[in-house]
Amino acid sequence: MLAGLGSYGLLDNNEGLYAAIASAMAQGGGWIVPQVAGLPYPDKPPLLYWLVALSLRAFGNGEWAVRLVPALAGLATVLVTGLATARAAGRDAGLRAAVVLGTSAGVVVIGRTLVFDMLFTLCLAVALLAWQAWRSGASRRWLRLGYAALALAVLAKGLVALVLAGLIVGAFALWERRRGEPLRLGVDAWGIALFAVIAVPWHAVAALEQPGFAWFYIVNEQLLRFLGLRQPDDYYAGAWWYYLPRFWAMAFPWIVVAPLLVARQCSVATGGERSSLPRDETFARFCVVWVLVVVGFYTLSRAKANYYVVQALPAAATLIALRLPLLWERANERRRGLAVVAGAATAIALAAAAWYLHRAEPGIGPVPDAWRPMQIACLVAAGLAVIATAGFATRSEALIIGGFALMSAPLVAGAAWAIVHDQPGLSARDAVRYVDLHYPGRPVGLFQRFSDHSALAYYLGKRLVLYDHRSADLAFARMQHARSPWLRQAADIELRGGPPAIFVDVRDLSAADPVLGSRYTATRTFGTLVLYVQRPALQVARLRAQGPP
């Protein structure tokens, strides 16, 4: 989780944007209403920004310090899940849950990426697991811990924390009531007061400090986003099955054995097999509700993102860990054969992916330079799948857990290597290093496409001037008619003189803006970014006399 966090630049769009906001906080501004490029950005709550800003102050600017916060949140989520599972089902089950979650691809990838969801997953998991501990007989201190964690979840991601927690707790309580248990939702006056003390002040102060904040943040960004009515409309949509392959990828490689565990558990429930599972299955039922509610909620939402369902992984890892002993208990030959087939199919699929990457022609795919490391990664993962298959055949706990636990490591390493190879197309770091070498300390412009190249805001800081911005990320600032010394129209270059260099992501600047095209000429390309520098004054005069080129 921690290895190589700073080995590649911050990725454009989300990582660069959020790091720029946190960097502005670390430099002393915008701790209440987050800001980017000197403009208010109230789209998201501030907890992640606060923590990253503290990390930057402690360790200095750098990708490692930026990504340290989500990485530690991922490790903490693994620890919390393991401890909660151990408390409910025993030490061995807790260790297995920690191994399963800590080696799931989704946790490793999202935990190494500066987005809100790993921190939100941690806070939500603590809130839900504390509530479940209270419900199973622990003191009310656990319940109040849950309220505090839920307040932090609201500050990490927004009001969606209340919706998810309420749906999970309510659905599970109703399920248990049908089984004869009393309806216990955990309403606690001290817990509610603790929640209010943590979650309310920031919302109140931000609403007072920034006109229009309450409507934009609560209504537009959360309610209307869920309904697909948010303005501007810049989010992804998808079919009802959108999250099925994504959840499969998030839970890889352990998702491979999930169908077998479900089938074997059905056999155990009907008395066909004996099992060493804990007698109290309440915790397992709670995890089932957790997974179904999270995946179902985001499926119903009109706004989708690939990584949202990472919040279901702690519960999914616990369910798999509770059932894993079924894979090496005595079973009939047919079921053992199914396990061997599943492992072999995984190995064959990974080997086929390596062959495809080997045979792919240059120019096909988003990161052709990364094919070789990804090819090696797929082959190593295929070998580990063979080891796990041998574990199925011999009923070896060590081979099964070892093979699957290590399988995501080469794939994550290959993906990181791929990003390093294709860094100019994914991050603005190399472009800014080039500008720093040739134009140290001087302002630099970005033409129109801020959303696609927001890492420039982090690496350049207040040196970045936005020309004719069309970014959905700055929609609130545009609605409020905010002014910033780093926000300009292209025509201002004629009046005030522009910066020495401008980045655009169109090849022909003259077609996009004749004024800029007459004053700047392309010199260097970094992925989709093209660096334009000022033409000599005599050349500009000749172009004006001849008309736009």
Q: What is the DSSP string of 270-291?
A: TTSS-----S--HHHHHHHHHH
Locate 342 and state its tokens.
């599943």
Q: What whole-number distance in Å separates Cα of residue 79 and Cα of residue 278?
A: 21
User: Which residue would you say has higher pLDDT here, 235 or 529?
Assistant: 529
Q: What whole-number distance in Å separates Cα of residue 50 and Cα of residue 58?
A: 12
**Is the whole-model pTM more than 0.85?**
yes
Residue type, 486: W
Locate 303 and state its tokens.
């706004």
**266 within 8 A of 257, measured Cβ to Cβ:** no
pLDDT per position as a tens digit, 167-214: 999 999 999 888 888 888 889 999 999 999 999 999 999 999 988 898
Per-residue confidence (pLDDT) for residue 370, from 0 to 100: 58
Within 8 A by CB and 6+ apart from 234, the residues are 451, 472
Q: What whole-number distance in Å separates Cα of residue 86 and Cα of residue 96?
A: 9
Locate 214 and state its tokens.
């309450």
Range from 37-46, 234-243, 506-515, 518-527 carrying the lowest mean pLDDT: 506-515
Q: What whole-number distance in Å separates Cα of residue 535 and Cα of residue 134?
A: 70
Band (483; pLDDT cuts 50, 70, 90): low
Q: What whole-number distance in Å separates Cα of residue 438 and Cα of residue 230?
A: 42
Q: What whole-number distance in Å separates Cα of residue 340 and Cα of residue 362?
A: 36
**168 within 8 A of 176, measured Cβ to Cβ:** no
